[in-house]
Structures are given as structure tokens and as C-alpha cells.
Amino acid sequence: MYLQRLELIGFKSFAQKTVIEFSRSASGQSGIAAIIGPNGSGKSNLGESIRWALGEQSLKSLRGKKSEDIIFSGSGLKKHLNLAEVVLFFNNEKNNNQDFPYQEFTITRRLYRNGESEYLINKNKVRLQDISLLMAKSGFGQKSYSIISQGTIQKILELSPQERQNFFDEATSVKQYQIKQEKAQKKIIKSQENLKKTAIILSEIRPLLNSLSRQIKRLEKRKEIEKELTEEQIKYYQYSWQRLHQRNEEIQKKIKINQEKQEEISRELKKFQEDSKQSFQKSSREGYQKTQEKYQQWLEEKNNLLSRQANLSQRTNEIQNKIQNTIKAKIKELPEIDREELINSIKNLQIIQEKIKKCASSKEKNWGEIEKWIDKSQAQIQEIIDSLQEKEPSAETTSDNLEEKGELQGLKKQQEEIKEKIIIANQKLEKFQKEIKDLSHAINEKEKEIFDWQEKISNSQKKLGEIEYQTNQLKIELARFETKEQGLEEEIKNEIKNLDQNTINLIKEEKTKKEINVSSDISRQKIEQLKYQLEIIGGIDPEVLQEYPRVQQRYNFLEKQSNDLKTSIKSLNKINQELEEKIKNQFRESFHKINQAFDRYFKIIFNGGQAKIQLKEDSSPEEKKEIEILATPPNKKIKNISMLSGGEKALTSLALIAAIISINKPPFVILDEVAASLDPENSAKFAQIIKELRPHTQFIVITHNQEIIEIADVLYGVSMQKNGTSKLISLKLEN
């Protein structure tokens, strides 16, 4: 990352808008920009503008006494301004830091004459802490080695222990972690304060909540008992009601049954009385047996005839099939027209045969129908035979047909005889069957009526009298139970509180499938016990119901806040410990590297000698670090840096700054007249050190030193105009 551009307007002597472009070399190395100009031209204001934009709060460091001194105050030829603004443009294309969020960004600071000020990152308002953390992540030491103001180089060795500690905190790049740690510690302190306040409030609310909780528990207990009481009362009265209701239903059912029996018995008596007027005759079983024997004889005769008829039909079918086969064999010898006639005749004959078979297998044995089909079949066969004779068939075929025809005629005659006999048998069977049926029915009915009618009349009259008596007793009992139901309903309304129609319906609900299992005496005793418990609990203030949820909600909220604060404090303590460990490790590591580099650059500048920085052995992370700087130029025995001359202090400070820059590698460094007290030889050494550090760090040097000017990539000249404002010109150099 490097500073790409600086824009300022209204800052001290730079009244007009001034833009400085800081470019990099063709090889990509950071450049060295030298700002030169006569004394009083305002060149140091450029370095101070960068320091101010990055959040410098010390007006003394900015050579002012009040904040308005930052804003251009005007001159005899130019009016004062009401605003000072500085914008820094940073290029971070080669970003190797994952924690750094930008590739390009701007930092802006504005100050108004009325005292208002604002900070911006990429034109978005932020806090000063956000800018400090952002620059700390980039490795920029805002208040120490990265910006060395005019006349302060040797003061680095004269810093107080606290200032020296801050100096090395930035030098070792632990400042960003310290900012985070400080933020976490502030959160811990704030959380602990909030936790104490929450604990105080909770201690005040807890007694009230406990009191309300006890009353609510009593109220809940009362509600539970009232609910249980209502349930027991409902069960008790439901049981009592169902017992009465079921008894009423039983009586009504018995009355209805008795009335139905009375009607039934009355009808039977009337019928018996009518039947008794008729006389009955004894049926003869001898005639029934004779008729049954004759029926069996004729049935056997009919079965024999049917068997013979079936045999004749089978033989007839065989002969007809044989004639058909003979005809089919001769069909091909006939002309085309005669052949079609024969085919049609054969089809008709086949249909006739199927009908004959169907009739023969029928259970009804309708032989009259069968006879008709046989006659029709015979006629068809005869027509076929006559047709064949007209066509002069062969002698062999004619002879066979005549023989078969004669046999068919004989079979037909036998079938006609059997048919007549079957008709006679059917007539006899129908006659005897009807006689048997009539005789059997008459015998059964008459004998039953003769033996039963007198006994039934006697029994029915006796039952009728008994049922009439029972019915009257049941009606008396029904009236008594209906009166009890009315009294029970009045008792239910008086006993059960908040009784509604649904409860009444529940009590009166019919339970036909499952009777309520409850003992009347035990249930009544339990009801009395529950009433006594309600009397002991007594009444509860209704306002408790409204007060308790509010207090409980407040208590739960505070308790949750307390738990959240404890969790947050625990998490913040863990973060603080991790940051402390990170700071400790990084400080030690970077401190060791800076110490080695300090000795190296000290020897380069002084051509020998020794220099080192060291921590007190008994220092710890929880205590303030005590850092000691030791420097011994060659051929001298100096135990304390206070014994160094002014020039030696300046050179030692430059060696320390160079060591820090070589290890920490800040994105840019601003040096304001740091080589003013150096002789040409030491100036040349310091210039070589800057060239050595240039690949990783951008240098902006405000100087009059010729050796520094010679190594610069670009020169910026600052001059003071007649109107009291500074003007800038630039010149790029070819090295």
C-alpha cells in the first residue's frame, strides 16, 4: 500500500485546493518524494496535513493553540476560510493482508470554523477509532516513527517511559491488537457495570416476585381445587341423574312392553274364540299312504320311459350324423348352385340337432317340444335325400341312404309310443302330487288347532290379568321418580358454581353403553373435603393476576440480560486473553528483530560501536513495559544515552527509525527536516539507508539536505505567494 494522492484545501497556508500525486517507479518500487522550499513557505504544513487527516489530536504537534488555527485565517489580500479539508488517497492493489478490506480507499477529515468536525472513509462518516484501527492494520505508526516532525528526531531518545512504550507498540505492529483489546476491555467494564445494575434491580424485584408467586400458587391451587370440585360434583350429580334417568327409562320400557303384550294377548284371545266355533274333522292317514304309493309307482314308470327315450334320441343323432357326412362327401361332385343348397340344408339340420340335444338334457323333459324338432329334422333329411336322388348319385350312396331312412322311420315310431306313455305318466304324477300336498297340510293344521286352542285361551287370560296389575304398579313408581328428578335438578343449580347450559347437558348426557363408576357416599365425602380446602385457602386479591405477569416478565427479561452479560463478559475475557497473548508474542518477536536491525544500522552510521534496546526482566504483560535504549559509539564508554551529544542522539534516533522501518515496513514515512543537523558525510549515509528501505516503504521527505534531494524521484517545490497562501510545483527527476 502507498499514498497515491494528497488533496487539501483551507489547511493552514494552503487556501486553494492543492493536489499532490505520488507515483511509483516503472519497476513498481515505492518512490522518494522530496518537498523543498524556503523557510516559511509552508512545506511543513504538507506533512502536518497528513498527520492531521490521520487523526492527530495534539494541537501542539500541529504547531497550533486552538482548532481554528488549522483553518486558513486569511491575509491582507485574501479572506479567511470556514473549512479545512484534507483527503488522502491510498492504493492497495497488491494487498497481502487478509484483514485489510480495501484495494483503494480514501480518508477524509474536515473541520469547520464553528468547531464541528467529521471523519470519512470512502466518503462514509466514521469514528476516529475506525481510522486508527484501519491504519494500524496497514502497519502505519501514526504518532511515532512513520511521521517525524521538524525538530523531533532526537526527542525519540528522550521519551518518557509511557511515551516510549507507545512508540514501540506502534513499532512492533501491536497497536491494532491493543485498539481491539482496549475496545474489548471497555466493553467488559461496561458489561460489568450493567451486570451490577441488573443484579441490584433483580435483588429488588425478587422479593416482590416471590410474594406474588406464593399468591399465584395459592390462586392456582384454588383453581385446581375448584376445578376438581366441579369435576367431582359433575360426576356425582351425573351419577345420581343417570341412576334416576335410567330407572325412569326402565319403568317406561316395562310399561310399553306390558302394553304391547296386552294388545297381543287380546288379539290371540279373539282369534281363539273365533276358531273354537268351528268343528274339526279327524284326517285319514290311510288315504294319504295309498296315494303316496301310487305316486312312487308312476314316478318309476316315467323314469324308465325317459331313459328309453334318451337312448332312441342318441341313436337318431348317430344316423343323422352319418347321413350328413355322406352328403358332405358328395357335395363337391354337384354343380355350384346345388352345393350351396345342400350346405344351407346341412346347417339347418345341425341347428335342429342342437335343439334336440338341449331338450333331451333339460330337467323339465318337455318331450312334446322335442317331438316337433324331430319331425322338422326328419323333413329336412328327406328333402336332402330327394335332392340327391334327382342329381342321380351313385348306386352305393343311394343304397346306404335307403337303409338308414328305414331305420329312422322305425325309431320315430318307437319315440311316438314312448311320448304318449310319458304324457299319461305326467298326468298321473301331477294328480297324485296335488292330493298328497292337500292331505298333508290339512292333517297338520287341523291336529294342531285341536290340541292347542283351549290351552292358549286359558293361559292368555291369566297373563292378561297379571300384566294389567304390573302396569298399574309401574305407573305409580314412574310418577315418584319423575318428582325426584325435578328435585335433583334444583340441587345441581344450587351447588355447582358458574353453571351453564353445557354443564347441565353434560350432567344429563345419556350413558347407555358405560355406566359411571362412582360410589355415591365416597364422592359426597370428597366434595365436602374440597369445599373445606377452599375455605382454608380463602380469597385472592384480583390485582395479583395483573401484577404477577408484569413483574415476572420484567424479572425474566433482566435475568436473561444478566445471563447474556455474563456470557458476553466471559467471551470478551477470552478475546482479551487471546489478544494479550498475541500482543505479547508479536511484541517479543518484533522487538527482537528491531533490536538486531538497530545494532546493524547504528554500526553503519557510526562505522562501528554497539546499540541495543532491552526490556526489564521483571516486566510482565499486566504491568507497564520498561524499555531501555543503550547506544555506545565506537571508542567511547557511555552508559546512558543522555550522555550522547546532540548529533549522536540524532544519528542514534535515525538508526532506530531505520531499524523499525526495515522490520515493520510501513506503507509510507514522512520525515520533516530529520537530517537538518547532519554533516554531509552522515547525510550521505542516511540517504543510502533511505534508498535501501525504498523497495518496501514510500518516503516523503521535507528537507533542505542536498544528499536527500539527490536520491529523490520527484521534487515538490513550495513557495509563499503575495496573498499569504502556499503554492506547489512538482518536478520528476531521472535517476
Q: Lowest mean pLDDT: which of 450-454, 524-528, 575-579, 716-720?
A: 450-454
CATH class of 1-140+666-735: alpha beta
Q: List alpha helices for 607-645, DSSP H.
A: none
Please tell me what DSSP assigns to residue 695. T
648/157 Cα distance (integer angstroms) = 11
Residue 457 · residue 220 · CB < 8 Å? no
pLDDT at 201 over 80: yes
pLDDT at 442 over 80: no
Query: Alpha carbon of 86 to those of 64, 190, 261: distances in Å?
Result: 17, 35, 120
677/647 Cα distance (integer angstroms) = 7
Sheet (strand 2-9) strand order:
18-21, 2-9, 83-91, 104-112, 117-121, 124-126
Residue 397: CB partners within 8 Å, gap ≥ 6? 326, 330, 388
Long-range pairs of 179-182 with CB within 8 A, sequence gap ≥ 24: 179/129, 179/132, 179/133, 179/136, 180/133, 180/575, 180/579, 181/576, 181/579, 181/580, 181/583
Q: What percent of the chain has pLDDT over 90?
A: 6
Q: What is the pLDDT of residue 162?
A: 81
Q: What is the pLDDT of residue 335?
A: 54
pLDDT at 735 over 70: no
Of the pLDDT bands very low, low, confident and very high (cuts 50, 70, 90), residue 370 is low
The pLDDT tens digits of the residues spanning 689-725 come to 888 888 888 888 998 888 888 888 889 999 998 888 9
pLDDT at 617 over 60: no
pLDDT at 280 over 60: no
Of the pLDDT bands very low, low, confident and very high (cuts 50, 70, 90), residue 453 is low
CA 106 to chain CA mean position, Å: 44
Sheet (strand 726-732) strand order:
147-148, 668-672, 698-702, 32-36, 714-720, 726-732
All three cell numbers of 184, joined, read 474489548
pLDDT at 577 over 60: yes
461/463 Cα distance (integer angstroms) = 6
Q: Which residues are bridge partners to 105 per DSSP?
A: 90
Residue with the bigger pLDDT between 132 and 687: it is 687
686/650 Cα distance (integer angstroms) = 11
Residue 58 · residue 731 · CB < 8 Å? no
Q: What is the pLDDT of residue 480?
A: 72
Residue with the bigger pLDDT between 186 and 362: it is 186
Q: What percent of the chain has pLDDT over 70?
A: 71
Residue 562: how many other CB atoms lie within 10 Å: 17
**What average pLDDT does the structure give for the chain?**
76
Can you give the three-state secondary structure of 298-356, one letter per residue?
HHHHHHHHHHHHHHHHHHHHHHHHHHHHHHHHHHCCCCHHHHHHHHHHHHHHHHHHHHH
Single-letter code of the amino acid located at 385: I
Q: Lowest mean pLDDT: which of 303-307, 451-455, 547-551, 631-635?
A: 451-455
Angle between helices 175-275 and 161-171 (to 10 degrees): 70
Q: Report pTM.
A: 0.51
Residue (of 731, 673, 727, 662) closest to 700 by Cα position: 673
680/707 Cα distance (integer angstroms) = 7
* Sequence spans of domains, the chain: 1-140+666-735, 287-453
What's the mean pLDDT in 88-94?
A: 83
Residue 172: how many other CB atoms lie within 10 Å: 22
Residue 630: CB partners within 8 Å, gap ≥ 6? 610, 611, 612, 613, 614, 641
Q: What is the pLDDT of residue 368?
A: 61
Q: Lowest mean pLDDT: which of 166-180, 495-509, 575-589, 632-646?
A: 495-509
Q: What is the pLDDT of residue 386?
A: 64
Long-range pairs of 632-637 with CB within 8 A, sequence gap ≥ 24: 633/606, 633/608, 633/609, 634/606, 634/607, 634/608, 634/609, 636/609
93/102 Cα distance (integer angstroms) = 8
428/422 Cα distance (integer angstroms) = 10
475/730 Cα distance (integer angstroms) = 131
527-551 b/e with 16+ CB inside 10 Å = b?
Answer: beebeeeeeeeeebeeebeebbeeb
The pLDDT tens digits of the residues spanning 312-333 come to 777 777 777 777 777 666 655 6
Q: What is the pLDDT of residue 433?
A: 75
180-213 b/e with 16+ CB inside 10 Å = b?
Answer: bbebbbebbeebeebbeebeeebeebeeebeebb
Of the pLDDT bands very low, low, confident and very high (cuts 50, 70, 90), residue 191 is confident
